[in-house]
């Protein structure tokens, strides 16, 4: 179905920058970038998918069944996203909160052109109908030809002074966290992820420039630029949701965040304190238990194991506590069923999962949509890799609406004021790039 050709690159980093610029001409773009992050579970340094040949776009109703049919019929590379509100397809839940983004609940496309970067090699995987364009495309990318005339109007400048508003006030946030704590003290839940939205109305931004600035500030291992018609995701996520390679499945939940310090000694001290923080460790362990339970639904008996527990990783802006859980997939389980059985990811819900999602819906003011969902791809063999959509800006260019959300895990040991401060810490990168 696809023609594959490899090209040796003289300057891989320069080619990568040119490749993203070249993608500007397309209506459907999925750009996944590991930012040369050193982790052993990555299959490539970056991948670009453009020019939809077929598309699946739907609301949550039977969303996973439709995706399974699309994936099994296509048997090709497909890229796209799962919004948080697909929870309503998995359980008897609903999403009635305010939504001004209006993204579809699920959107995947089969790209005519896929270009992977690995080391000093670019691998072009084109559908037969466009494979005669390979050589010309490579040469145009390599030479850095400009395909799209950029707007000079300050209205669409990437550094426009975008005014950010909060959907709820600090006082409302503190009250809602206290309400969440009341649920925990009553025994309704052990932990829940509580999120709040920041937004700007009637604003036009330049998504490519904003994304490049956000990526430069954060340098995350699961960065994504997604353009699907008038909907954009500019994502600087540090977290993997789920990866399938053959019969192996892998999840890497994050719980536990601390700021970085410029002073090396102080920075190391902060990382050690995070590693030993009993509240942060308990948050992480609870979610690891939830992930283990989710994976056990589709794994061979006794194969679920914790490869890494509460290890602190350092990113450009924050330290994060990450665990790694793996399992061997039971024979005969459909590829998409692995996602359905574990969705939404535990790090963005809480425990017990269903109770936490119900309480989240009551207390949050905004429909999450793509935020705290997942973006990724399927291979023709049925493998996949998806991130967790956090540290991200969502933009509907038609409605001129810009949004980003942040949240944190609320446990019995949570102090509302400190949780609010953590939200502000997580929002810094998005605020910075939108304010210019």
Q: How far is CA 364 from CA 92, 103, 283, in A?
A: 18, 18, 20
Residue 59: pLDDT band with limits 50, 70, 90: very high
Query: Which of the residues 28, 191, 206, 239 is marked catalytic?
Result: 239
374 or 436: which carries more pLDDT confidence? 374
Q: What is the pLDDT of residues 390-430, one digit of tens each?
A: 999 999 999 999 999 999 999 999 999 999 999 999 999 99
Tell whether 146 is covered by a domain. Answer: no
Identify the three-state secondary structure at position 296.
helix
Long-range contacts: 13-18, Cβ < 8 Å, 24+?
15/117, 15/122, 15/141, 15/142, 16/45, 16/46, 16/117, 18/141, 18/142, 18/144
Amino acid 42: pLDDT? 84
Q: Is the pLDDT of residue 40 over 60?
A: yes
> How far is the C-alpha of 430 from the C-alpha of 386, rounded, in Å?
21
Amino acid 156: pLDDT? 47
Question: Is 113 annotated in the active site?
Answer: no
> How far is the C-alpha of 64 from the C-alpha of 60, rounded, in Å?
8
> How far is the C-alpha of 9 from the C-alpha of 261, rounded, in Å?
36
Residue 233, domain extent: 2-139+152-435
Closest CA to 193 of 91, 87, 277, 318: 87
Identify the three-state secondary structure at position 61.
coil
What is the DSSP secondary structure assignment for residue 344, as one 8-state letter? S
Tell whether 131 is covered by a domain. Answer: yes
Q: How far is CA 122 from CA 10, 22, 137, 391, in A?
A: 11, 14, 12, 28
Is residue 433 within 8 Å of 213, Cβ to Cβ? yes
246 sits in the region (left: phi over 0; alpha: psi -120 to 50; else beta) called: left
> How far is the C-alpha of 342 from the C-alpha of 243, rounded, in Å?
12
Amino acid 36: pLDDT? 87
Amino acid 39: pLDDT? 63
Is residue 145 within 8 Å of 64, Cβ to Cβ? no
Q: What is the mean pLDDT of the chain?
A: 94
Q: What is the pLDDT of residues 173-199, one digit of tens each?
A: 999 999 999 999 999 999 999 999 999
Q: Is the pLDDT of residue 32 over 60?
A: yes
Amino acid 162: pLDDT? 66
CB-count burial class (<10 Å; 0-12, 13-18, 19+) for 331:
exposed
Tell whether 267 is covered by a domain. Answer: yes
Provide the number of structural domains found in the chain: 1
Tell whether 341 is covered by a domain. Answer: yes
Tell whether 287 is covered by a domain. Answer: yes
Amino acid 148: pLDDT? 58
Residue 161: pLDDT band with limits 50, 70, 90: low
Domain CATH for 382:
3.60.120.10
Strand residue runs (E) in 174-298: 191-201, 222-228, 231-237, 240-245, 248-252, 254-259
Tell whether 147 is covered by a domain. Answer: no
Residue 351: pLDDT band with limits 50, 70, 90: very high
Query: Which of the residues 87, 244, 255, 353 is marked catalytic?
Result: 255
| Percent of the chain whose predicted confidence (pLDDT) is above 70 | 96
Tell whether 145 is covered by a domain. Answer: no
> How far is the C-alpha of 335 from the C-alpha of 262, rounded, in Å?
44
Specify the range with the lowest mean pLDDT, choosing from 36-40, 67-71, 124-128.
36-40
Question: Is 255 annotated in the active site?
Answer: yes
Is residue 242 within 8 Å of 345, Cβ to Cβ? yes
Tell whether 144 is covered by a domain. Answer: no
Helix (H) or strand (E) holding 63: helix 63-74
Angle at 275 between CA 271 and CA 278, to 5 degrees: 135
115 phi/psi in degrees, rounded to 5:
-130, 120
Tell me the CA end-to-end span of the chain in Å, nearest whole number: 44
Closest CA to 379 of 178, 36, 97, 110: 110
């Amino acid at each position: 179905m696809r023609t594959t050709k490899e090209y040796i690159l003289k300057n891989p980093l320069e080619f990568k920058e040119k490749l993203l610029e070249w993608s500007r001409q397309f209506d459907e773009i999925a750009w996944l970038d590991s930012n040369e992050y050193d982790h052993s579970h990555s299959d490539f340094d970056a991948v670009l998918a453009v020019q939809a040949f077929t598309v699946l776009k739907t609301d949550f109703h039977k969303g996973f069944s439709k995706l399974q049919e699309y994936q099994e019929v296509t048997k090709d590379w497909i890229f796209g996203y799962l919004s948080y509100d697909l929870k309503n397809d998995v359980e008897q839940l609903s999403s009635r909160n305010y939504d001004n983004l209006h993204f579809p609940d699920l959107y995947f496309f089969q790209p005519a052109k896929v270009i992977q970067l690995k080391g000093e090699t670019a691998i072009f995987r084109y559908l037969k109908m466009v494979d005669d364009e390979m050589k010309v495309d490579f040469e145009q990318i390599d030479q850095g030809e400009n395909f799209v005339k950029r707007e000079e109007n300050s209205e669409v400048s990437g550094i426009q002074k975008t005014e950010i508003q909060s959907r709820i006030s600090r006082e409302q946030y503190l009250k809602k966290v206290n309400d969440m704590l009341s649920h925990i003290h009553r025994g309704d839940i052990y932990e829940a992820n509580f999120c709040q939205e920041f937004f700007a109305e009637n604003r036009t931004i330049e998504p490519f420039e904003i994304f490049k600035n956000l990526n430069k500030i954060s340098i995350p291992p699961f960065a994504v630029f997604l353009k699907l018609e008038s909907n954009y995701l500019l994502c600087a996520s540090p977290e993997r949701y789920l990866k399938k390679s053959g019969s192996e499945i892998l999840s890497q939940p994050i719980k536990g965040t601390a700021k970085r310090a410029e002073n090396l000694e102080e920075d190391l001290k902060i990382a050690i304190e995070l590693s030993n923080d009993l509240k942060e460790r308990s948050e992480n362990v609870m979610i690891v238990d939830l992930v283990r339970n989710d994976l056990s639904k589709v794994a061979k008996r006794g194969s679920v194991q914790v490869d890494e527990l509460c290890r602190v990783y350092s990113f450009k802006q924050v330290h994060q506590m990450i665990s790694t859980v793996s399992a061997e997939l039971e024979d005969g389980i459909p590829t998409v069923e692995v996602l359905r059985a574990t969705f939404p990811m535990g790090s963005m819900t809480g425990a017990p999962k269903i109770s936490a999602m119900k309480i989240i819906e009551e207390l949050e003011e905004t429909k999450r949509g793509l935020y705290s969902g997942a973006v990724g791809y399927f291979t023709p063999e049925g493998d996949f890799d998806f991130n967790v959509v956090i540290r991200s800006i969502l933009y509907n260019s038609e409605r001129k609406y810009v949004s980003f959300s942040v949240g944190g895990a609320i446990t019995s040991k949570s102090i509302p004021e400190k949780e609010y401060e953590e939200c502000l810490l997580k929002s810094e990168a998005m605020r910075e790039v939108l304010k210019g």
